[in-house]
């Protein structure tokens, strides 16, 4: 290799940096850039793919959190419908039962609409879904403490649903913050 060819080749140092010279008009200066990860080949398992993955962007995180919020609200709506149409008729009826079923249908419709609102990235819908569900779970817990209710009412499942609704609210807030940064004149 001739001296001119060696001069154009980047030099690699021990700490895995590419070192090269750049002409900046006044002379030469040295720059250092990190090397890409080595290509290990298909059979080598010494490095996992997760080491080289970029963390999710804020847009991806917002989209994911909104999806979790929609799923949680739809789960609440569908479970309320299931209770109203499947479990409710199995119990003995009466006026109180008919009123309870009507309220369950209204609740299912409200959570279905709130799920659509979260899907449309509405902060108000996400906040209302979280607030209504938290209030409902608080009232169930209150009745349990007072001795009027039997069973924990699925408190473990309720905790995960609350986490899903919190993620939905966080996703809608993050989405609108990103939109404000990208298009400040539109908001």
Is residue 83 a part of any domain in this protein? yes
Residue 42 belongs to a domain: no
List pLDDT tens digits, range 74-127. 999 999 999 888 876 666 566 567 777 888 899 999 999 999 999 999 999 999
Domain holding 105, by residue range, is: 58-182
CB atoms within 10 A of CB 186: 7
Residue predicted with more confidence, 142 or 48? 142
20 or 184: which leads in pLDDT: 184
Tell me if 70 is assigned to some domain.
yes
DSSP 8-state assignment for residue 50: G
Between CA 125 and CA 110 the distance in angstroms is 10
Does a structural domain hold residue 65?
yes
Q: Is 159 exposed, middle or buried (0-12, 13-18, 19+ CB in 10 A)?
A: exposed
In a domain, 161, yes or no: yes
Q: Report the number of distinct structural domains present in the chain.
A: 1
In this structure, is residue 174 part of a structural domain? yes
Tell me if 16 is assigned to some domain: no
pLDDT at 175 over 50: yes
Dump the DSSP string for 90-128: HS--SHHHHHHHHHHHHHHHHHHHHHHHHHTT-HHHHHH
What pLDDT sits at residue 18? 44
In a domain, 169, yes or no: yes
Reported as a pLDDT band with limits 50, 70 and 90, residue 5 is low
Q: Residues 113-163: pLDDT tens digits?
A: 999 999 999 999 999 999 999 999 888 888 887 877 666 657 888 999 999
Q: Judge if pTM exceeds 0.85.
A: no
Mean pLDDT of 13-25: 46
- Percent of the chain predicted with pLDDT > 90: 40
Instruction: Give dist(CA 121, CA 178) in Å, integer.
Output: 12
DSSP state of 84: I
């Amino acid at each position: 290799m001739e001296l001119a060819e060696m001069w154009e080749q980047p030099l690699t140092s021990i700490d895995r940096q590419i070192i090269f010279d750049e002409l900046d008009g006044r002379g030469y200066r040295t720059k250092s850039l990190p090397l890409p990860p080595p290509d290990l080949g298909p059979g080598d398992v010494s490095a996992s793919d997760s080491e080289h993955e970029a963390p999710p962007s804020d847009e991806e995180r917002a989209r994911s959190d909104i999806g979790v919020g929609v799923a949680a609200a739809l789960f609440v709506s569908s479970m309320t419908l299931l209770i109203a149409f499947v479990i409710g008729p199995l119990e003995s009826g009466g006026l109180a039962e008919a009123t309870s079923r009507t309220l369950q249908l209204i609740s299912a419709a409200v959570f279905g609409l709130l799920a659509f609102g979260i899907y449309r990235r509405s902060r108000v819908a996400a906040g209302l879904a979280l607030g209504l569900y938290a209030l409902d779970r608080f009232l169930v817990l209150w009745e349990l403490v007072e001795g009027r209710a039997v069973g924990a009412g699925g408190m473990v499942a309720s905790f995960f649903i609350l986490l899903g609704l919190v993620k939905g609210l966080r996703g809608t807030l993050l989405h609108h913050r990103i939109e404000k940064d990208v298009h400040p004149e539109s908001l």
